[in-house]
Amino acid sequence: MLTIHTADEGGSVAVEGTRIAGTGTLPELQARFPTARVRSWPGVLGPARVHEGPLPDAPSPRERIHAVLKLGAVAVLEQHADTPELRAAAERNGVQILPAPRPTTLTDLSRADLAVFDKTGKCIATVCAGRLVHRRR
C-alpha cells in the first residue's frame, strides 16, 4: 500500500513497499499519488538515524534492537552487533548492520528509512524499510 508520511515541519515522503516512491510537499505527493493513504505526524520528518554506540541494555537481543528503533535508528554498527543473536534480531527487524557510519538521506527509490522527532529530539515514529516499527502514543 502506498503511504505518504508527512509532518508539521519538513517535507513529505511517499513510501511504497520498502522503497521511497517520491519526496516533496504534501500537495505535490497527493497530486502524484492520489490514492495514497496519508499519515500525518507532529514534529520533524527526516531520514532515520544510524545508531553509532553500544546498543541499549535490555533483557533480550530483540528488545535491544527494538530500543534502537525507538530512538529513530534503523542501522547499527557491526562492532556493536557482536553476537549471532543480536545480528539475527537485527535481520528479522530489517535493521541494517553497517561496517562504519554513513550519511542518511531521503531520496527517490532508496530504502524507505525515515523517522519523526518532536521539538525535544525524542522519536515519535520510525519507519524501517517501509514498515512502521515504532510510534510513540
Cα dihedral: 102, 56, 130, 42 (round 10) = -100
What structural domains and CATH numbers belong to the chain? 2-47+104-132 (2.30.40.10), 49-98 (no CATH)
Cα dihedral: 20, 23, 26, 28 (round 10) = -110
Q: Is the dihedral of CA 62, 134, 46, 107 positive or negative?
A: positive
Looking at residue 137, its pLDDT comes to 73
- What the block records as the C-alpha cell of 35 is 490514492
Quote the DSSP letter at residue 60. S
pLDDT tens track of the chain, all 137 residues? 899 999 998 789 999 999 999 999 999 999 999 999 999 999 999 999 999 999 999 999 999 999 999 999 999 999 999 999 999 999 999 999 999 999 999 999 999 999 999 999 999 999 999 999 999 87
Q: In sequence order, what are the beta bridge partners of 77? A: 98
